[in-house]
Each structure stands twice: as C-alpha cells, then as structure tokens.
A and B are shown apart, each in its own frame.
Chain A
C-alpha cells in the first residue's frame, strides 16, 4: 500500500495521496478515504466485524497481483524513458511516446487504487469512518509528521507502540532525497560503459575501488 501511495504522490494532482496515513493535512482528500492498512491496524478500535475484515482482506488479496503487475510494468517503462533521456541527443518523438506509456500506466494505477479504497470505504459504517479520521489524526500528531517529516519524535514511554506503517514511514523519512554523489549517473558495467563511450564519443571515467561498485551502499 505504501508503495502505491508513493506512486500516487509522485503523480501529484488532486487525487495524490488517496487516503494516505502519513499526511492528511497536506491532502484535501485524505480525510475522505482510508488506506487498507489503516483500517486493519485500527480494526479493534473501530469495531470492525469479522465479516468486514474477511471482505477487506479478500479485496486486498484480489487487488495485490494486479498492482504488482502494474508497478512492475511502470518501473520498466519509466526505466526505458530514463534510458532515452540520458542520451546526449534525445530522440524527442520516442521520448514523448514513451512518456505517454508511463502516463497511461500511472493513470491505470491511480484508477485501480481509487476503486480499491472507495470499495473499502463503502464497507465501513459512518461511525467507523469518523473514528478512523480521528485515529489517523492522532497517529500523525504522534509521529510528528506534520512538523518535520525527517525528524522522528522521541520514543514516548507508555504510549501505544508503533505500527507497521508508522515505522515504515519513519524509515523512509531517514533516506535523504538527494545525495550529491548520486547525481552522477554511475554505471557498474565496463562493457556498457565502453559501448556508451563509443556511441557518445566521450572518455570513460573509471572510479576503481575495492568491494562494491557505486550504488547506494556504504563504501
């Protein structure tokens, strides 16, 4: 779900976030929709019935493979677009055509996700929905998200322990969005580098070092 929400956040626009548990204050629709994991996390607090729970889980399991497939295809098409754009001379027509493919998949994911969260919402009573809105606000306030996404709050002794979503959000907030050395588009394959050197008529710059090739790892 988190990954789906991240993709939607990347898309921007009026449905970005679609009920994200992370930042309702930033999303005008956040109070209107509820991500499945939020519902499952607070099932006891909102009095979710066994029938509702089974139904929600069935919906999520049914949607899972489709989202996996859509995201895999989106990653592939986005990577193809990136390859086209990385060239010194960009084939404009090919790049725009590829962008259309990326947008088509993004739109399909957005529609599928909206359909899922609407379906889930429609299974909740109005009391359950009101309770979820309240619980989500408390969750956000407790994680300090509104004040500083990159600064986790100190552990609060005696409070309810962190949920899967809040821990995952905290981990993701630790990752710096831009790290200087990653602005260089390092390749780790010598053969690919030589081929690109021949095609682009540029010299190879080799950073030769022990252990790992350049990636997002410690060195």
Chain B
C-alpha cells in the first residue's frame, strides 16, 4: 500500500514534482536491495541505507557518499512534504559527502513524530561506478523469448468514457507482466493440434490475464492478495481461431472469451465474514469479455493486442481507518485510503518481445 499511496499522495503533487526535479536526484529503489542487500561493494551501499531505516519502506534522503540524512514514513500535511524536502536539502548543504560524520534523522511522521537518530559509523563507504556482474540488481533478468505485456486499465463514467483522474489506481492503472517462452510454446502446441473451429487457450494464460486485469494497488489483487486470503478464479474461457496472417510465415489468431475473478470478501470484524484478523475490509470481483489478436511465428508470440471490458466491484479499507476520507493522504501513507468503486471498466493489453539481457 505504501508505494501506491506515496505515488498518489506525495509524488503526484505539482510542487513536489517541481522541487524533486529541481533539487534532488530521484531514485526509486527496490526495498529488497535495502532489506536484503546484494554481495559486494554495492551491497555495502545498500546496507548503509538500510541500517537506519525505521520500516521496510519509506522516503529517504542521502548525500553523495550514500550516507542517510533523513527518513520519513508519513507527513503531517501536504505543506510538510515541502518542508521535509527543504529540510533535507539544507542538511545536504551541511553534509554533502562523507567529509564529516552525520546522523540519520528519522521521522515516523514529519515533523511531528520524530524517532531517535542513528549515528554515523564513520566507516568510509566505497565509491562504486559499476555493478559487480555488469547487471543492475534493480532490474529483473529477462529470459530470451519472453513476451513483455503492458496493461492499461480505466474505470468508465456513466457515459462509458474513461474517468479523467489518472492519479488514483482505482481509476487508472498501468501494469506489466511477462509471458514466458514456455507458455508461448504451449499455445503453439495447442494451435498445431487445433481444427478449423479454433482451440481453447491454456488455463495458465487465462489465469495470467485475469490476475492482472483489475483496478487498484497491488494489495487488492483479487486472485493473489497478500496474506492468507485466497481469491477465486471462476470458470471462464478464452478461445483462439486462425485469421488471415499479417505477414508471410506467421499465424494470426483472433482471441475471444470471458473471465471472472472474485476476491474473498471480508468485513473487517474479528471472526467476521472472511476475517483475515487484520481488520481488513475487502471485496473485489471483476467480470470481463475479451477480444483481440495474437500473432505467432513458430512457437513465439510476436504481437499481442487485447481489450477486455466489463464490470468491477472493489471495496477496500480497514476498520482502523475510522472516518478517513477517500482521497490520498500524506498522513496515512502506510495504510492508504479507502476505496469504494463499482462500475464499468475497460482494459487494454499490448505485448511485444522483451529485450533479453
């Protein structure tokens, strides 16, 4: 939730955007690198950042030597975000490098809730210009033959037009996922055996598509929510049938079908309906009709375009929210904001071969 909330509430504010671009070098860092650093000198840099972290996720300012100046997990209000940036920038002016020791300041909520500082170890950190194995650990390796799929999802208004807001992920979502070479080969094998009426696409593809076409942040995934809660992939089907090929040597498949997923419903009460024990209020169901094309060259997909339209119900929150409003709030970044959406939705997917490293 933190990442999505920070993106919506903090990094979508025009003045924050202006100041970050003007005064800082912005880096979005996988928490895994800080919480479980890689080996070698790059790992030492990551470990130093993680040494003072008040939580696994947060917003942090560091100097050019990699020494942490400030951490913040939340802010009192929108103006406090700007005050934090000013404060961190001023500290950088005093401690731009490792020439003098500097303590890491930590704020649970800036500026009202300050935690104890973490003192500098005064151990010099290395200057590292290259990754140990020439590959940045922030980038996941891509297997040759992988198809990279990008998804765009929009909530529609009463007139069937996309809702204009593109900040909140329950209104506008972008996602991506990979379609493995093995799954592509499975489709190619099914195609080879198919008759003129077409064939049912593999269940693994059905699941993959259905598990990404939803609105909201990562934690509301109706099929793979965090924790012990299980979602339900309802019976559906995707069919493919040969069409006139776009180019010689390729096969174009027209894809049609429908899908339905439903997350386990929880009402937040202890022992109540679908209780997860954490006060979660959650209900998520998506029904979609799919249409599109897959171009294949042998056992590889060369292009994929799909749309899926239908209806979606997403209710999400926590009994601890109390009377929190529906807007993103810098004072509630780890918790996010409540969501109550029901309406028509439209998704679009484009897949192209990924660049293997």
> Is B306 an interface residue when CB atoms closer than 8 A count as contact?
yes
Q: Which residues of B contact A197 (CB under 8 A)?
A: 25, 62-64
User: What 1/0 flags go to A198-219 for Cβ under 8 Å of B?
Assistant: 1011111111111111111111
Contact A208 B60 (CB under 8 A): yes
Q: Which residues of A contact B66 (CB under 8 A)?
A: 190, 194, 204
Interface residues of B in 168-193 (CB under 8 A from A): 169, 172-176
> Is A122 an interface residue when CB atoms closer than 8 A count as contact?
no
**Contact partner of A216 among B31, B139, B174, B350, CB < 8 A?**
B174
**Contact partner of B218 among A167, A170, A204, A218, CB < 8 A?**
A218
> Is A142 an interface residue when CB atoms closer than 8 A count as contact?
no
- Assembled-state Cα–Cα distance A180/B168 (Å): 11
Interface residues of B in 117-175 (CB under 8 A from A): 127-131, 136, 138-139, 150, 152-154, 159-162, 166-167, 169, 172-175
**Nearest CB on B from A91, distance (A):** 19
> Is B244 an interface residue when CB atoms closer than 8 A count as contact?
yes
Contact B176 A219 (CB under 8 A): no
Q: Chain A interface residue count: which class?
A: 35 or more
- Assembled-state Cα–Cα distance A204/B291 (Å): 45
> Is A156 an interface residue when CB atoms closer than 8 A count as contact?
no
> Is B12 an interface residue when CB atoms closer than 8 A count as contact?
yes
> Is A195 an interface residue when CB atoms closer than 8 A count as contact?
yes
Q: Which residues of B contact A174 (CB under 8 A)?
A: 152-154, 162, 346-348
> Is A6 an interface residue when CB atoms closer than 8 A count as contact?
no
Chain B: how many interface residues by the 8 Å CB criterion?
93
Contact A195 B247 (CB under 8 A): no
Interface residues of B in 206-261 (CB under 8 A from A): 217-218, 244, 246-248, 252, 254
Contact B49 A206 (CB under 8 A): yes
Q: Which residues of B contact A92 (CB under 8 A)?
A: none
Q: Which residues of A contact B6 (CB under 8 A)?
A: 207, 209
> Is A10 an interface residue when CB atoms closer than 8 A count as contact?
no
> Is B330 an interface residue when CB atoms closer than 8 A count as contact?
no
How many CB-defined contacts (below 8 Å) exist between A and B?
256
Interface residues of B in 84-125 (CB under 8 A from A): 85, 88-89, 92, 96-97
**Contact partner of A151 among B4, B92, B136, B162, CB < 8 A?**
B162
Q: Which residues of B contact A205 (CB under 8 A)?
A: 20, 24-27, 59-61, 85, 88
> Is A60 an interface residue when CB atoms closer than 8 A count as contact?
yes
> Is A168 an interface residue when CB atoms closer than 8 A count as contact?
yes
> Is A148 an interface residue when CB atoms closer than 8 A count as contact?
yes
Q: Which residues of B contact A212 (CB under 8 A)?
A: 30
**Contact partner of A190 among B46, B154, B217, CB < 8 A?**
B46
**Given A60-B247, A174-B162, A181 and B7 contact (CB-CB distance below 8 Å):** yes
Q: Which residues of B contact A64 (CB under 8 A)?
A: 247
Contact B3 A188 (CB under 8 A): no
**Contact partner of B4 among A164, A180, A191, A219, CB < 8 A?**
A219
**Given A151-B160, A209-B3, A184 and B17 contact (CB-CB distance below 8 Å):** yes
Interface residues of A in 163-201 (CB under 8 A from B): 164, 167-168, 170-176, 178-181, 183-198, 200-201
Contact B25 A209 (CB under 8 A): no
**Contact partner of B28 among A61, A195, A214, A218, CB < 8 A?**
A214
**Given A208-B59, A213-B29, A203 and B69 contact (CB-CB distance below 8 Å):** yes
Report the stretch among B50-58, B275-283, B313-321 that lies at the interface: B50-58
Interface residues of B in 6-37 (CB under 8 A from A): 6-8, 11-14, 17, 20-21, 23-34
Q: Which residues of B contact A161 (CB under 8 A)?
A: 254, 291
- Assembled-state Cα–Cα distance A204/B68 (Å): 9
**Contact partner of B27 among A154, A167, A193, CB < 8 A?**
A193
**Contact partner of A203 among B92, B176, B309, CB < 8 A?**
B92
Q: Which residues of A contact B49 (CB under 8 A)?
A: 190, 206, 208
**Contact partner of A61 among B4, B17, B248, CB < 8 A?**
B248
Question: 18 extra interchain contacts, Cβ-Cβ under 8 A, other than A171-B305, A195-B129?
Answer: A171-B350, A179-B166, A185-B21, A185-B26, A187-B25, A190-B46, A191-B131, A203-B61, A203-B63, A203-B89, A203-B96, A204-B66, A205-B59, A205-B61, A206-B49, A207-B29, A209-B2, A211-B3
**13 A-B pairs (CB sep. < 8 Å):** A40-B244, A181-B11, A191-B136, A192-B27, A193-B25, A197-B64, A203-B89, A204-B61, A206-B27, A208-B34, A208-B59, A210-B31, A214-B7
Task: List the 3 closest A-B pairs by CB distance, nearest first.
Answer: A171-B348, A214-B28, A209-B3
